[in-house]
């Protein structure tokens, strides 16, 4: 089955291209749905074992969240359930350029959370205590040590939480580099190839139906980011997930600007490899009011109660689209996966301008620095802000790796490896139970993850 490349233009950042496969195999061992950082890392892990794998991406590799994010790779503030996986991910990130023989932009720049009160310091200390056994070098900083981490800041803050072994990478480079490495190991990576659904035979995965034909396979990994719940609907698998809209922008270079990725009450910023900064507001995000908002209302109520100041409901283009979307998607006709090659939501210039003003107030070196580009992305959120990485019991042969709740770029390499191990029935690198799909249905208490 040959695939004709289409062109998808977006307002999002320019993503490093790959040379996609032009022919879709009729059969393979594993099909991965979604070419974000999780899908491409799973493809690399599987191909490196000499196992046949095809990755189908409806748009372009890293066209959605994996190129639109801020680029932080952080242990700082992580939910304790994700700690083993982020430690594994950082181990991978340190060798990522060598593994991919490409520049992914990873460097250990450190991550700093700035505290404005003794209450913040108490929260920081509680987190430090909870992860002390991971020995990641996390610490509380004050005074000159804190000021040195915030080069040029005009305000002095009471405290910070700092992890020097944290880092960042370049989102427009990393996933494409991993995809190319997967191809070098024999993975077939096909772009502009929307998956409509998964076929079963005798209750287990037997094929993946794409717009270009069906690929026979015994195993499928859904790594579809914000689309995963819809993909699962065709299998009667209940995957509680909602979308949250996050506007973001990048600036022109700022010579001698601050080095660590830094989070404050009003904004977060990261120095890019090109010397500019990727900045986003720390609150004011919206979530489209869609059928899933009501379908999964009970699951999400505790989170909405906690985050009511951060999220506000939206009746926007995405909301209208989802009210018109067929659920489950049809296998025999083009649908939303083909109509929306790249989810490219409108940004929020007012929110971005507010964050830029806050940045310039914090650090006068940013005062006349122009914003070069603004965009937005939908993050895929679960009720406890932890991902689903699981071999689905009800559907043998199906693995899900999704719902990274705004922090999946950093943890993507570990998540990709873990989902590959689950797909191949190997011993997993970390305990996957905290990420099981059934955790909101098996009577376990819902424990909200760390704030986004």
Ligand X SMILES: Cc1cc2nc3c(=O)[nH]c(=O)nc-3n(C[C@H](O)[C@H](O)[C@H](O)COP(=O)(O)OP(=O)(O)OC[C@H]3O[C@@H](n4cnc5c(N)ncnc54)[C@H](O)[C@@H]3O)c2cc1C
Report how far residue 293's alpha carbon sits from residue 287's, in angstroms, rounded to the nearest whole number. 9
In sequence order, which residues have a C-beta less than 8 Å from that of residue 176 and are 6 or more positions away?
A: 15, 16, 17, 18, 40, 61, 62
Write each residue from 49 to 78 as x if it is in contact with ligand X (CB under 6 A), else as -, in one continuous string. Answer: -------xxxx---xxxx-xxxxx------
Residue of 93, 113, 366, 404 interacting with ligand X (CB under 6 A): 404
**Residue 368: CB atoms within 10 Å:** 8
96 binding ligand X? (CB under 6 A): no
Minimum CB separation from ligand X for residue 195, in Å?
4
Please provide the DSSP assignment of 166-200 as one string: -EE--HHHHHHHHHHHHHHTT-EEESS--EEEEEE
- Supply 412's token pair: 């993507």
By CB under 6 A, residue 335 contacts ligand X: no
Minimum distance from CB of 76 to ligand X (Å)?
11
Among 87, 209, 231, 254, binds ligand X (CB under 6 A): 231
Phi and psi at residue 238, to the nearest 5°: -85, 105
User: How many of the chain's residues bind ligand X (CB under 6 A)?
Assistant: 42
47 upstream amide cis, omega within 30 of 0: no
**Smallest distance, ligand X to C-beta of residue 144, A:** 28
Minimum distance of ligand X from residue 261's CB (angstroms):
7
Using CB under 6 A, pick the residue from 12, 21, 115, 410 that binds ligand X.
410
Q: Return the number of the residue (105 or 412) whose C-beta is nearest ligand X.
A: 412
What is the Cα–Cα distance from 41 to 185, expressed in whole angstroms?
Answer: 12
CB of 64 to ligand X, least distance (A): 4
Name residues contacting ligand X, limited to 233-252 (CB under 6 A).
246, 248
The correct pick among 53, 254, 379, 392 for binding ligand X (CB under 6 A) is 379
Q: With binding defined as CB under 6 A, does residue 412 bind ligand X?
A: yes
Give min distance, CB of 211 to ligand X, in A. 9
Stretch that binds ligand X, among 364-372, 404-412, 420-428, 439-447 (CB under 6 A): 404-412
Judge contact between 267 and 355, C-beta under 8 A. yes
Distance set, CA 259 to CA 116, 164, 166, 195, 255 (Å): 20, 11, 12, 41, 11
Stretch that binds ligand X, among 45-53, 121-129, 141-149, 221-229 (CB under 6 A): 221-229
The answer to whether 278 and 270 are in contact (CB under 8 A) is yes
Q: Angle, nearest 10°, between helix axes 37-48 and 171-184?
A: 20
Nearer to ligand X, 61 or 119 (CB): 61
Q: Indicate if the alpha-carbon torsion angle 58, 63, 69, 72 is positive or negative.
A: positive
Compute the chain's Rg from CA coordinates.
21
Torsion angle defined by CA atoms of residues 339, 231, 174 and 354, in that order, rounded to the nearest 10 degrees: 70
How many whole angstroms from its chain centre is CA 384?
15
Residue 381 CB, nearest distance to ligand X (Å)?
10
- Considering only 188, 223, 235, 237, the residue that binds ligand X (CB under 6 A) is 223
**Rounded CA separation 389/119 (Å):** 34
Q: Between 71 and 257, whose beta carbon lies closer to ligand X?
A: 71
Minimum distance of ligand X from residue 337's CB (angstroms): 4
C-beta of 153 vs 281, nearer to ligand X: 281
Inter-axis angle of helices 37-48 and 408-423, nearest 10: 40
377 binds ligand X (CB under 6 A): yes
Is 209 an interacting residue with respect to ligand X (CB under 6 A)? no
Per CB under 6 A, residues contacting ligand X are 33-39, 56-59, 63-66, 68-72, 194-195, 223-227, 231, 246, 248, 280, 337, 377, 379, 402, 404, 406-410, 412
């Amino acid at each position: 089955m040959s695939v004709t490349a289409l062109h998808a233009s977006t307002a999002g950042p320019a993503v490093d291209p790959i040379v996609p496969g032009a022919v879709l195999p009729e059969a393979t061992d594993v099909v991965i749905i979604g070419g974000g950082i999780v899908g491409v890392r799973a493809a690399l892990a599987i191909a490196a074992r000499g196992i046949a794998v095809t990755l189908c991406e409806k748009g372009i590799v890293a066209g959605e969240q994996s190129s639109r994010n801020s680029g932080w790779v952080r242990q700082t503030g992580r939910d304790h359930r994700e700690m083993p996986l982020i430690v594994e991910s950082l181990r991978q990130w340190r060798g990522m350029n060598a593994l991919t023989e490409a520049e992914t932009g990873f460097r250990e720049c450190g991550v700093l959370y700035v505290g404005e009160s003794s209450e913040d310091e108490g929260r920081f200390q509680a987190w430090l205590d909870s992860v002390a056994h991971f020995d990641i070098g996390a610490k509380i900083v004050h005074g000159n040590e804190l000021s040195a981490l915030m080069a040029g800041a005009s305000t002095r803050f009471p405290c910070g939480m700092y992890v020097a072994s944290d880092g960042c990478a370049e989102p427009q480079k990393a996933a494409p580099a991993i995809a190319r490495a997967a191809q070098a190991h024999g993975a077939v990576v096909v772009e502009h190839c929307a998956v409509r659904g998964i076929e079963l035979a005798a209750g287990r995965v037997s094929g993946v139906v794409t717009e270009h034909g069906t690929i026979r396979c015994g195993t499928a990994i859904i790594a579809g980011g914000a689309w995963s719940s819809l993909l699962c609907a065709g299998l009667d698998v209940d995957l509680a997930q909602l979308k949250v809209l996050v506007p973001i922008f990048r600036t022109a270079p700022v010579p001698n600007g601050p080095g660590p990725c830094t989070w404050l009450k009003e904004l977060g910023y990261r120095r890019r490899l090109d010397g500019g900064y990727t900045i986003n507001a720390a609150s004011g995000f919206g979530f489209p009011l869609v059928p899933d908002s009501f379908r999964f209302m009970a699951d999400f109520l505790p989170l909405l109660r906690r985050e009511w100041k951060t999220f506000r409901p939206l009746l926007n283009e995405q909301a209208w689209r989802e009210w018109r979307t067929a659920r489950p998607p049809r296998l025999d006709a083009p649908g939303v996966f083909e109509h929306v090659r790249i989810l490219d939501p409108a940004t929020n210039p007012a929110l971005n301008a507010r964050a830029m003003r806050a940045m310039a107030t914090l650090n006068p070196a940013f005062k006349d620095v122009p914003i070069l580009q603004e965009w937005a992305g939908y993050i895929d959120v679960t009720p406890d802000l932890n991902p689903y990485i699981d071999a689905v019991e009800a559907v043998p042969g199906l693995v899900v790796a999704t719902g990274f709740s705004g922090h999946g770029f950093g943890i993507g390499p570990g998540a990709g490896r873990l989902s590959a191990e689950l797909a191949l029935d190997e011993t997993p690198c970390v305990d996957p139970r905290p990420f099981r799909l059934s955790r909101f249905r098996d009577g376990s208490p819902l424990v909200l993850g760390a704030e986004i």
